[in-house]
Amino acid sequence: GPQALLMNELPAYLEDIRLCHDTWKKRQAIYQRLRGETPQ
């Protein structure tokens, strides 16, 4: 049933979340650096 499908897809789902989080953190770091270099 749906539960079995969910358990099968869970590892790939968690991996996607981890990759998205890493990308987000990198984007945030770049954004912070650019903001720091730009005089307001």
Confidence (pTM): 0.57
DSSP state of 40: -
**pLDDT tens-digit map of 1-40:** 567 767 788 889 899 999 999 999 999 999 999 999 876 6
d(CA 23, CA 8): 25
pLDDT at 29: 96
Distance (Å) of CA 10 to CA 19, 24, 39: 14, 21, 45
Helix (H) or strand (E) holding 37: helix 2-37
Taking the domains of the chain in order of start, what are their residue ranges?
Answer: 1-40
pLDDT of 3: 73
CA 39 vs. chain centroid, Å, equals 29
What's the pLDDT score for residue 2? 64
